[in-house]
Amino acid sequence: MLDLLKNQLLFSGLLIAVLMGAINLGVAYCTFYERKISAWIQNREGPNRVGFFGLFWGFHFWGYGQPMADGLKFLLKEEMIPDKADKPLYVMAPAISFIVSTIGIAVIPWGGYLDIDADGIVDVACQVANPDIGLLYVLGVGSLGVYGVVLGAWASNNKYSLFGGIRAAAQMLSYEIPLGLAILVVVLSCGEVRLENIVRAQIEGGGTWNVFVHPLAFFLLFVTQLAETNRAPFDMAESEQELVGGFHTEYGALKFALFFLSEYTHMIINSAFLCVLFLGGWHFPWIPGLGLEDTAWWAVLAKMAMLGTKIAGCVFVYMWIRWTLPRFRFDQLMRLAWKGLIPTGLGLVALAVVMTYFGIPGSESVWPKLIWGLGGNAAVLFMVVLVVGMSPAGVTGRQANMPPISLLSPAKRVPRADQGTAN
Amino acid sequence: MATEGQLVILGAALFAMGLVGFLTRRNLIIMFLCTELMFQGVLVNLVAMGKIHGQLDGQVFGVFLLAVAAVEAAVALGLVVLLFRRRGSLAPDVWAIMQG
Amino acid sequence: MNASLPYLIYALFAVGGAGIYLALPRSGRSTAVPGSILGLAAVGMFVAVVAKYALPSEGAGFSYLFSAMALIGAGRVVTHPKAVYCVLYFVLVIISVSMLLVLQGAEFLAIALIVVYAGAILVTYAFVLMLSQQSASVPGDVRSREPFLAVLAGFFTMACIAGQVGDLPLAAAPSSEQVIRLAQHGEADQAVMPEMMVDGNTAAMGAALMTKYVVTLETTGVLLLVALVGAMAVAKKRVPIEESPDPEKPLGQVGREAAPF
């Protein structure tokens, strides 16, 4: 039995089964925790009623049965397809969305190498596939994510949906550029595109995770991932106050559930990717058993638990941001990408190139990396703020009709022509 | 005939289908889509030929071809949007008045 | 055996061309069904010919599968009356071609193809299509222009390129691993890695791009910059909505209806 597992193909199959189960369960409980965290932030209770099977009458398990009840409800709703919708695409879009957000798990290194029978020889990698192009694979899969949204929006034959789809397409195209630049910084400083080796490079360099050397790039990647997953404050594609429900206005029952699940799956996969690129993957200093040379089964389990903890932390920050920050306006969002994030990303890539030229990433000591990285990041930030601060802020929409703001002499409130008897 | 031969035939087929589409379709966007199909044919051929000669150059040309395709798409689609805004139609026939 | 091969390929192309000709959208009675059958027959012939003449190689089944997918997708791109479906079938073509490239050991190019084409260019196409054309299909899409001459031109183009297949050297080409080893500078530490993890060609591609082709690379960068500026200049231009030059006809139906010759 153990010998069978030494085959990487069979082991990968087992790993796929385990990961799909774990991620689907995690997604279900993400929806639950989203509601719990929003309740906590808004000083409410949140869902606290649904337990399991009516056991222990009077005891509700703190509402932990809620995801099951939600899933059951989605399952039992009537499947409805709008009459004028483009039926094949309408049905395909949620499936595309879900598949594309799920296949990213294939290349994430969950726990390094595994030595099953403890004979000192590494048997398998705890990873579904370890291609040479792991990082590029994630980029490619992420770039396909827009199709589910856009097709669903178009196939619904609804103007609000179409607006949502158009917004999503423009937003994802724009934010893919800073995403690529942030990833390029990691590639340059690690000299690797294989995800397992990126983790290894972060551990071998004295335990300096990339986030300590390139904090701005970490921030850049996090922000662009928020935008790629359509999470607040970048959820322009589904902004409820403007577009009813955005691209999934016309969807119900399990098809809506698939869109919903794919958003959360995307969140989890993106967080895992962020942890691998910037937060040292499964590594944590000072805890024994999380090193490169620990390959026993319990060490691999500990590594997976470590990565899982980091992912949970990232997902929590996603939710925290959603319930704290208001949504951007669409022109602000585009201006942020093209005038803020892309120049920052270019500056960071230039910094990484200079550091690579002087051989900083390969140095044995920690200090040159930290000094170069943090100093360079501060310089890039300073220059970007200087340049972006000089360019005038865009004036659009209602702002164009407003009087100029002066701090010295407050402008009188001018009644506008269209404010007649409305109030 | 190894698999390279198969790729050469495939590339030729893609190129020719793109040509047919470009000549026959009456929608500016589909016409440009068909030029991209021709690019695909060229790309497949480049990789196959590079493999036959045992060199990476074919793949390197492929990377440059991708960049050129991106450039073409950016400018061409900008022009298509401009044309559409003037006449309100994607049909190329709308722009045929100069031929008398 | 190679003497008969070009004629087999020409026959294959003739069947496929007839299929495309019949499947092209036209006014009047649709002949899409016999066209699709002929097209599928051509794809089947393609796989059969390749399987008969190909040297036995690893992953041949996948290679046939993805070739067939690419051909069917390309056929649908050319013949589908709805523009959005054309874009989607093009995505299918790209994914199949990229899988074929992976089978050829060109992994970097395969992923670059997906990122650049499926992730950026085709999304832009879909975007423009949605901006400009809300209804699924416009009158111009359901009628094609000079299908017979176009198919004839396509057939001769294809025959010119693919007729050379019989002349291709049949000696085994160097495998992709050899190519990589020739071009690679640093040898990765393979000793501790399990057998599944072979090194790919990304490093070799990077080395080639940065040494032999560095001037081309820089020129491409300049080209992209020029395109960026040009696209922005085009997009920012404010144009008037023109009056219809022919007052008898509504805008969008102006132009010549006569045959081009």
Chains A and B physically touch (3 or more Cβ atom pairs below 8 Å): no
End residue of a domain, out of C141, C165, C189: C165
A11: which residues sit within 8 A by CB, 6+ positions away? A5, A114, A124
Question: What angle do helix axes C202-211 and C214-236 make, rounded to 10 degrees?
Answer: 90
What is the torsional sign of CA A58, A61, A65, A66? positive
Residue C19 belongs to some domain of the structure: yes
* C194 confidence band (pLDDT: 50, 70, 90): very low
Percent of chain A with pLDDT over 70: 88
Please tell me the predicted confidence (pLDDT) of residue A408. 59
Q: Residues of B45-68 as b/e, b for ≥16 C-beta within 10 angstroms? A: bbbbbbbbeebbebbbbbbbbbbe
Judgement on whether residues C51 and C113 belong to the same structural domain of the protein:
yes
Q: Which long-range contacts (CB under 8 A, 24 or more apart) does A254-259 make?
A: A254/A74, A254/A75, A254/A77, A254/A79, A255/A79, A255/A91, A255/A94, A256/A74, A256/A94, A257/A71, A257/A74, A257/A75, A258/A94, A258/A95, A258/A97, A258/A98, A259/A94, A259/A97, A259/A98, A259/A148, A259/A152
Taking the C-alpha atoms of residue A183 and residue A276, their distance in angstroms, rounded to an integer, is 11
**pLDDT at A204 exceeding the cut of 50:** yes
pTM: 0.83
Please tell me the predicted confidence (pLDDT) of residue C93. 93
Helix H, strand E, coil C: the string for A176-243 is: HHHHHHHHHHHHHHHCCCCHHHHHHHHHHCCCCCHHHHCHHHHHHHHHHHHHHCCCCCCCHHHCHHHH
Could you list the residue range(s) of the whole structural domain that residue C9 is in? 5-165
Please tell me the predicted confidence (pLDDT) of residue A354. 87
Which domains, ranges and CATH numbers included, belong to chain B?
4-88 (1.10.287.3510)
Q: What number is the average pLDDT over the span C230-253?
A: 66
Q: What number is the average pLDDT over the span A178-192?
A: 87
- Please tell me if residue B7 touches chain C, with a CB cutoff of 8 Å: yes
Count chain B–chain C contacts defined by CB atoms under 8 A.
304
Asked, as a colleague might, if the bond just before A233 is cis with ω within 30 of 0, I would say: yes
The residue assigned the tokens 């111009």 is: C140
Q: Is A119 exposed, middle or buried (0-12, 13-18, 19+ CB in 10 A)?
A: exposed
At C166, the amino acid letter reads G
Residue C182 belongs to some domain of the structure: no
**pLDDT at A398 exceeding the cut of 70:** no
Q: How many domains does chain C have?
A: 2
Cα nearest neighbour of B1 on chain C: C54
Cα nearest neighbour of A9 on chain C: C196
Residue whose C-alpha is closest to residue A197's, from A139, A131, A271, A153:
A131
Please tell me the predicted confidence (pLDDT) of residue C94. 93
Q: What number is the average pLDDT over the span A403-412?
A: 58
Please tell me the predicted confidence (pLDDT) of residue A302. 83
Distances in Å between the Cα of C194 and the Cα atoms of A113, A121, B97, C201 are 9, 10, 67, 18
Judgement on whether residues C203 and C158 belong to the same structural domain of the protein:
no
Alpha carbon of A169: minimum distance to chain C alpha carbons (Å) = 7
More confident: C114 or C32: C114
> Which of A136, A139, A169 is nearest residue C126 as measured by Cβ atoms?
A169
Please tell me the predicted confidence (pLDDT) of residue C96. 92
Judgement on whether residues C52 and C141 belong to the same structural domain of the protein:
yes
Total Cβ atoms within 10 A of residue C261: 5
3-state secondary structure of C97: helix
Q: What number is the average pLDDT over the span A82-86?
A: 81
> Which of C55, C71, C212 is nearest residue B2 as measured by Cβ atoms?
C55
Question: What residues in C contact B5, CB-CB < 8 Å?
Answer: 50, 53-54, 165, 168
Q: What number is the average pLDDT over the span C110-130?
A: 86
- Please tell me if residue B98 touches chain C, with a CB cutoff of 8 Å: no
Give the DSSP H/E element, type plus range, for residue A114.
Answer: strand A113-114
Length of chain C, in residues: 261
> Which of B67, B70, B87 is nearest residue C251 as measured by Cβ atoms?
B87
Q: Which long-range contacts (CB under 8 A, 24 or more apart) does C25-32 make?
A: C25/C79, C25/C80, C25/C81, C25/C141, C25/C142, C25/C143, C25/C144, C26/C142, C26/C143, C26/C144, C26/C147, C27/C142, C27/C143, C32/C79
Q: What number is the average pLDDT over the span B29-51?
A: 88
Residue C256 belongs to some domain of the structure: no
* A187 confidence band (pLDDT: 50, 70, 90): confident
- Please tell me if residue C144 touches chain B, with a CB cutoff of 8 Å: yes
Residue C214 belongs to some domain of the structure: yes
Lowest mean pLDDT: which of A337-341, B93-97, C210-214?
B93-97
Give the DSSP H/E element, type plus range, for residue A125.
Answer: strand A124-125
Question: What residues in C contact A123, CB-CB < 8 Å?
Answer: 194
Residue whose C-alpha is closest to residue B86's, from B97, B100, B99:
B97
> Which of C136, C193, C200 is nearest residue A133 as measured by Cβ atoms?
C200
At A321, the amino acid letter reads I
DSSP A244: T
Taking the C-alpha atoms of residue A291 and residue A331, their distance in angstroms, rounded to an integer, is 46
Alpha carbon of C128: minimum distance to chain A alpha carbons (Å) = 9
Total Cβ atoms within 10 A of residue A103: 15
Judgement on whether residues C36 and C127 belong to the same structural domain of the protein:
yes
- Please tell me if residue B18 touches chain C, with a CB cutoff of 8 Å: yes
Asked if C130's CB is within 8 angstroms of A154's CB, the reply is yes
* A313 confidence band (pLDDT: 50, 70, 90): very high
* C192 confidence band (pLDDT: 50, 70, 90): very low
Residue C75 Rama label (left phi>0; alpha psi -120 to 50; beta): alpha
Judgement on whether residues C138 and C220 belong to the same structural domain of the protein:
no
| Mean pLDDT of chain C, nearest integer | 73
**pLDDT at C251 exceeding the cut of 90:** no
Residue C118 belongs to some domain of the structure: yes
* B96 confidence band (pLDDT: 50, 70, 90): low
The residue assigned the tokens 């960049």 is: B67
What is the torsional sign of CA A66, A70, A72, A73? positive
Judgement on whether residues C45 and C138 belong to the same structural domain of the protein:
yes
- pLDDT tens sequence across A255-287: 888 888 888 998 898 999 899 888 888 888 777
Ranges A52-66, A355-369, C194-208, most confident: A355-369
Alpha carbon of C154: minimum distance to chain B alpha carbons (Å) = 5
More confident: C148 or C101: C101
> Residue ranges of the alpha helices (H) in chain C?
5-23, 32-53, 60-79, 83-103, 107-113, 122-132, 147-162, 176-183, 202-211, 214-236
Residue whose C-alpha is closest to residue C82's, from C132, C137, C124:
C137
Alpha carbon of C174: minimum distance to chain B alpha carbons (Å) = 5
| Mean pLDDT of chain A, nearest integer | 81
Lowest mean pLDDT: which of A53-67, A70-84, A98-112?
A53-67
Please tell me the predicted confidence (pLDDT) of residue C222. 93
Judgement on whether residues C124 and C223 belong to the same structural domain of the protein:
no
Ranges A290-304, A326-340, A402-416, C97-111, most confident: C97-111
Please tell me the predicted confidence (pLDDT) of residue C9. 78
* CATH code for position C45: 1.20.120
3-state secondary structure of A124: strand
What is the torsional sign of CA C198, C202, C207, C212? positive
Please tell me the predicted confidence (pLDDT) of residue C181. 47
**pLDDT at C6 exceeding the cut of 70:** yes
Lowest mean pLDDT: which of A43-57, A111-125, C60-74, C170-184?
C170-184
Percent of chain C with pLDDT over 90: 8
Total Cβ atoms within 10 A of residue C11: 13
Residue C179 belongs to some domain of the structure: no
**pLDDT at B1 exceeding the cut of 60:** no
Question: What residues in C contact B38, CB-CB < 8 Å?
Answer: none
Residue whose C-alpha is closest to residue C81's, from C142, C6, C33:
C142
Q: What number is the average pLDDT over the span A380-389?
A: 82
Question: What residues in A contact C184, CB-CB < 8 Å?
Answer: none
**pLDDT at A299 exceeding the cut of 60:** yes
Q: What number is the average pLDDT over the span A132-138?
A: 83
Judgement on whether residues C97 and C42 belong to the same structural domain of the protein:
yes
Please tell me the predicted confidence (pLDDT) of residue C254. 46
- A124 has which bridge partners? A114
* C90 confidence band (pLDDT: 50, 70, 90): very high
Judgement on whether residues C11 and C134 belong to the same structural domain of the protein:
yes
Taking the C-alpha atoms of residue C222 and residue C6, their distance in angstroms, rounded to an integer, is 42
Residue C248 belongs to some domain of the structure: no
Taking the C-alpha atoms of residue A366 and residue A371, their distance in angstroms, rounded to an integer, is 9
Please tell me the predicted confidence (pLDDT) of residue C170. 44
Task: Tell me if C199 sits within 8 A of C190, measured CB to CB.
Answer: yes
